[in-house]
Amino acid sequence: MKKIPIAISSCLLGNEVRYDGGHKQSKYCLNTLSDWFDYKPICPEMGIGMPSPRPPIHLVEKGDSIRVVQVDDHDVDVTEELKGFARKRIPELDRISGYIVIRNSPSCGMERVKVYHENGNPAGKSTRGVYIGEIMKQRPELPVEEEGRLQDPKLRENFITRVFAYEDFQENVKANPTIDKLVKFHSRYKYLVMAHCYEDYKELGRLVANQDGLATAEIIDKYELGLMTSLKKIANPKSHSNVLYHIMGYLKDSLTSEAKQELVNVIEQYRKGMVTLIAPVTLINHYIKQFGNDYIASQAYLDPHPIELGLRNYI
Ligand code: SF4
C-alpha cells in the first residue's frame, strides 16, 4: 500500500531542532505509524531562520493580541514570521492527509499552550501555537493531532480513522472530482459517518443528493469539510452498536437464528463494556465475507484502518 503523506513536527522524528538543541522523538510515530505514513518533517522555528539551540520563545498577551516573543526579550517578536511561514507552506501541504504536532509549543501546539502576561506571569489562559493555528485556519478539514494525545486509545483511533478517510477522499474524489465519484464515496462511508454522528450522516446524504442545485465544486468542498468535521466527533459504544445492528440487518435472511443470537450477544457485550469493538466487528466481518452483498462489504466502517495497528482492540 502507498504510504499516506503526513506532516509532522520535525522534533518528533528525532531531529535536533528544538530550542535546547535536542529533540522529542516519538517511538509510536517513528516505529509504528511510519509503516503507513510518509512523513514530511517541518520545524517552523528553524524554517524562519532561528538556529538550534536558540533562546526560548513563548506566547504573550499584548493588548488584544497574542504574540510569540523571546522569553528574555519581548522585543524579539516572531509572530508574523511564523504566520508567514505557515502561509508559504500551505500550497505544498496540499496533498497531506494529516498533521502530527507536539504539545505546549508556542509554534506547533494544537491547544492549551500557556499564555503569559508581559511581566512574565501566567495570564491564566491558553490557546494554540501560532504556526499550527494558521495552518488549521487555512485547512479546517485537515486531521491534526498532538503526539501526546495519541496515547489515548479513543483519540488515537479517531485521528487515524480521519487520516485514512481523508486520504481515501483525496485519492478517490478530490483528485478528479465528479458527482458520481462523490456519490460512490458517500455510499461507502455512510456507516462510518453514522457511528460518529447520526445527524451528520443525514446532512451529508442531503448534500450529496444536491436538492439545492449547487455546483459540483461547491458540493465537494462542503462535503469535505462536513465529513472531516463529523469524523472528529468521537464515536461511542451506543453509536457503534447502532451501526452494527444496521449492518446486521443485511444478514437477516442469511444467518441462522443461533448465529443471529450469537451476534446480538457479542454486540451487547461490547455495548456494556465487557469486550472491545474488535469482537463484534470481527464476527460481523466474518459473516459479511460469507453472505454480504457488494454494498455492505464495501463499507469503510468494517475496515477503516489497518488491522495491524490494533486500534479497535482498545476502544
Ligand atoms: S517549532 Fe515545532 S518542530 Fe520545531 S522544535 Fe518546536 S515543536 Fe519541534
Q: Where are the domains of the chain?
A: 4-151, 155-232, 237-313
Q: Is the CB of 113 under 6 A from ligand 1?
A: no
How far, in Å, CA of 90 to CA of 179, rounded?
26
Give the pLDDT confidence score for residue 95 in this predicted structure.
93
Give the pLDDT confidence score for residue 291 in this predicted structure.
94
Q: pLDDT per residue over 88-145, tens digit each?
A: 999 989 999 999 999 999 999 999 999 999 999 999 999 999 999 999 999 999 999 9
Tell me the three state secondary structure of residue 33.
Answer: helix
Q: Is the CB of 208 under 6 A from ligand 1?
A: no
* pLDDT > 90: percent of the chain: 97
Task: Enumerate the H helices of 153-277 as residue ranges.
Answer: 153-169, 179-196, 198-209, 216-232, 237-248, 257-271
| Average pLDDT of the chain to the nearest whole number | 96
Please say if the pLDDT value at position 211 is more than 80: no
Tell me the best of 8, 11, 20 to mutate to test the pocket of ligand 1, counting ligand atoms within 8 Å of each CB and taking the most: 11
**Which residue is closest in CA terms to ligand 1's atom 4?**
43
Q: Is the CB of 44 under 6 A from ligand 1?
A: yes
Cell 495497528: give the residue. Answer: 309
**Mean pLDDT of all residues in 247-261:** 95
Give the pLDDT confidence score for residue 239 in this predicted structure.
98
Residue 109 Cα: closest atom of ligand 1: 7
Give the pLDDT confidence score for residue 268 in this predicted structure.
98
Q: Per-residue confidence at 1, pLDDT binned at 50, 70, 90?
A: confident
Tell me the three state secondary structure of residue 119.
Answer: coil
Give the pLDDT confidence score for residue 305 in this predicted structure.
97
